Amino acid sequence: MALPRCFFQIGVENKDSSREDLGRIVMEGGDFTRGNGTGGKSIYGEKFADENFTLPHEGPGTLSMANSGPNTNGSQFFICLKKTSWLDNKHVVFGKVVEGFEVISKMETYGSSSGKTISKIVITDCGSQ
């Protein structure tokens, strides 16, 4: 079994898709093709459609799909570090961190104002087989 690979950066995309430092708002990962936040690939092909916008970005631990516009989901996702209601109806929420948030908090300390981590963060074990 291959180990999961994950790229993380801390920052947020503004409306013109450039990175803007607004404090530590989200932690983004899932770019296993380029490792720099510009790649990734869906198990369904390149991109897949938004499923629904039923759940809100209600606070820390919210898991959501990263995208570059409507129906452009791939493998990238983000974990909210605070309430991000302006992302509602733009990014599909698919879960919530229910335990181990101390790991997320530790990863957050590796963030920087540039949107890149000060040191590489890699998930080496997903805890399931």
CA–CA–CA angle 58, 62, 64 (5° rounding) = 110
| pLDDT exceeds cutoff 60 at 122 | yes
> What's the chain's average pLDDT?
79
- Mind listing the domains of the chain with CATH numbers? 1-12+23-44+53-123 (2.40.100.10)
Distance (Å, whole) CA 118 – CA 31? 17
pLDDT tens, position by position, 84-109: 999 999 999 999 998 888 988 888 88
Distance (Å, whole) CA 10 – CA 60? 14
What is the pLDDT averaged over residues 22-48? 83
Highest mean pLDDT among 11-15, 57-61, 109-113: 57-61
pTM: 0.77
| pLDDT exceeds cutoff 50 at 10 | no
